């Protein structure tokens, strides 16, 4: 896959949706095609599950049930939208991805690590974020931004309704993920102006994925990539070594075993009627 996959994470009102649009502009200005997407949702199948999750309809069945629903939605999102865009050489930016499940259903819920890791492998298959930007915000500031945004229009969703204590637990969980997976994650102080946050995000993106600072080559992506050194490629494969730490298997191994076993599944997914978002 020749594209790049970036995820934006953080608590309520941390600025994910705002910042993904700034990042899109920067990337477009550098000649990259960008696909903006979000979770839960991002594909028609996943958007159908989004309503069940955000309305709170699944809440009473517990966080394990919620985690399973998020994984089902994620599998569809990956298959229908993210993987095809990456295969096309695009930059995919997702507003939330699996870290949100780790944080919301794991750290501030009851879903265990083993279940979450299994679900991640099922849903993501061979697609893992190269860079995850964690917008770190004081929960009170974040919630006050959300309240201002709602401004009498609509009600807070299932997760925005949770109290400050829960939001603090989630903030700490995000920071713990970043500490555990420094190659994949970067924490940005989101308690500042939109412009300051956007500038820090851009600097982080071009530091971690320097090829995004340049105009894409007109050559076929595969040829362009072959001009890079093995060390370049290794440096870009962020998230790999830390997965090893977390799950006991490297990303390379994950991809390898995925390539061996579930080829039939990949084919059958491909054969499904296209419902690209
Ligand atoms: N740096 C900032 N300073 C002040 N207000 C901001 C900043 N960034 C975003 N906002 C405003 O705060 C509100 C929440 O921002 P945004 O929707 O981008 O956050 P979010 O992380 O996507 O929230 P949610 O988790 O609820 O989806 C919006 O009204 C947005 O305009
Ligand atoms: Mg948002």
Ligand index nearest the alpha carbon of residue 149:
1
pLDDT tens profile 92-112 = 999 999 999 999 999 999 999
> Is pLDDT of 208 > 70?
yes
Sign of CA dihedral 202, 203, 207, 208: negative
Domains in the chain and their CATH numbers? 4-271 (3.40.50.300)
| Residue 273, token pair as written in the block | 């009627």
Q: Which ligand 1 atom is the nearest neighbour of the CA of 149? A: 29
* Average pLDDT score over the chain: 83
Q: How many helices (H) and strands (E) does the chain have?
A: 14, 5
Q: Which ligand 1 atom is the nearest neighbour of the CA of 192? A: 1
| Residue 47, token pair as written in the block | 């958007």
Q: Which ligand 1 atom is the nearest neighbour of the CA of 95? A: 22
Question: What whole-number distance in Å separates Cα of residue 174 and Cα of residue 185?
Answer: 10
Predicted confidence band of residue 267 (pLDDT cuts 50, 70, 90) = very low
Using alpha carbons only, give the angle 184, 92, 183 rounded to the nearest 5 degrees.
Answer: 5
Q: What is the mean pLDDT of residues 224-248?
A: 39
Q: Percentage helix, strand, coil, to 5, in the chain?
A: 60, 10, 30
Q: Which residue has the higher pLDDT, 146 or 239?
A: 146
Close Cβ partners of 124 (under 8 Å, ≥ 6 residues apart): 74, 78, 98
Question: What whole-number distance in Å separates Cα of residue 255 and Cα of residue 47?
Answer: 27
Q: Rounded to the nearest whole angstrom, what is the distance from the C-alpha of residue 30 to the centroid of ligand 2?
A: 25
Atom 23 of ligand 1, nearest CA residue: 13
pLDDT tens profile 243-252 = 333 333 333 3
- Which of 3-7, 23-27, 152-156, 174-178 is the least confident region? 152-156
CA–CA distances in Å: residue 97 to residues 10, 17, 40, 70, 196: 10, 13, 8, 9, 24
User: Strands 185-189, 34-38: parallel, antiparallel or unpaired by DSSP?
Assistant: unpaired
Binding pocket residue ranges, ligand 1, CB within 6 Å: 10, 12-18, 145-146, 148-149, 160, 193-194, 197
Atom 25 of ligand 1, nearest CA residue: 12
Q: Rounded to the nearest whole angstrom, what is the distance from the C-alpha of residue 262 to the centroid of ligand 2?
A: 33
> Is pLDDT of 72 > 80?
yes
Pick from 13, 39, 201 the residue to mutate for probing ligand 1's pocket: most ligand atoms within 8 Å of its CB. Answer: 13
> What percentage of the chain carries pLDDT values higher than 90?
68
For the stretch 82-113, what's the b/e string if a residue is b when 16 or more beta carbons lie within 10 angstroms of its beta carbon? bbbbbeebbbbbbbbbbbbbbbbbbbbbebee
- Provide the angle, in degrees to the nearest 10, between the axes of the packed helices 113-124 and 240-247: 140
Predicted confidence band of residue 214 (pLDDT cuts 50, 70, 90) = confident
Cβ atoms of 17 and 73 closer than 8 Å = no
pTM of the model: 0.80
> Is pLDDT of 19 > 60?
yes
Instruction: Identify the residue whose tokens are 């924490």.
Output: 187
> Is pLDDT of 62 > 60?
yes
Predicted confidence band of residue 269 (pLDDT cuts 50, 70, 90) = very low
Q: What is the dihedral of CA 19, 23, 26, 28, to 10 degrees?
A: -130
Comparing CA positions, the residue from 119, 131, 143, 133 lying closest to residue 13 is 143
Q: In what order do the strands lie in the sheet with 4-10?
A: 34-38, 91-95, 4-10, 131-136, 185-189
Instruction: Identify the residue whose tokens are 């966080």.
Output: 63
CA–CA distances in Å: residue 242 to residues 10, 183, 184: 20, 7, 8
- Provide the angle, in degrees to the nearest 10, between the axes of the packed helices 63-77 and 44-54: 160
């Amino acid at each position: 896959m020749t594209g790049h996959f970036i995820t934006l994470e953080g608590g309520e009102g941390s600025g994910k949706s705002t910042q993904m649009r700034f990042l899109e502009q920067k990337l477009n200005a550098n000649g990259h095609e960008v696909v903006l997407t979000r979770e839960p949702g991002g594909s028609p199948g996943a958007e159908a599950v989004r309503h069940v999750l955000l309305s709170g309809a699944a809440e009473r069945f517990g966080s394990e049930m919620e985690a399973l629903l998020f994984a089902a939605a994620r599998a569809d999102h990956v298959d229908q939208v993210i993987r095809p865009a990456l295969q096309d050489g695009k930059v995919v930016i997702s507003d939330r991805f699996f870290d949100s499940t780790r944080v919301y259903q794991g750290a501030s819920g009851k879903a265990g690590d083993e279940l979450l890791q299994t679900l991640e492998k099922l849903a993501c298959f061979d697609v893992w974020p190269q860079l995850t930007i964690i917008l770190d915000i004081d929960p009170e500031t974040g919630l006050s931004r959300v309240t201002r945004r709602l401004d009498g229009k609509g009600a807070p969703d299932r997760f925005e309704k949770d109290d400050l204590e829960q939001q603090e637990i989630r903030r700490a969980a995000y920071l713990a993920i970043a500490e555990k997976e420094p190659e994949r994650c970067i924490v940005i102080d989101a308690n500042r102006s939109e412009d300051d946050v956007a500038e820090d995000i851009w600097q982080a993106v071009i530091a971690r994925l320097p090829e995004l600072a340049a105009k894409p080559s007109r050559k076929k992506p595969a040829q362009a990539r072959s001009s890079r050194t093995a060390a370049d490629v290794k440096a870009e494969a962020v998230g790999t070594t830390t997965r090893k730490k977390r799950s006991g298997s490297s990303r390379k191994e994950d991809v390898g075993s995925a390539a061996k076993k579930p080829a039939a599944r990949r084919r059958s997914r491909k054969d499904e009627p296209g419902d690209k978002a």
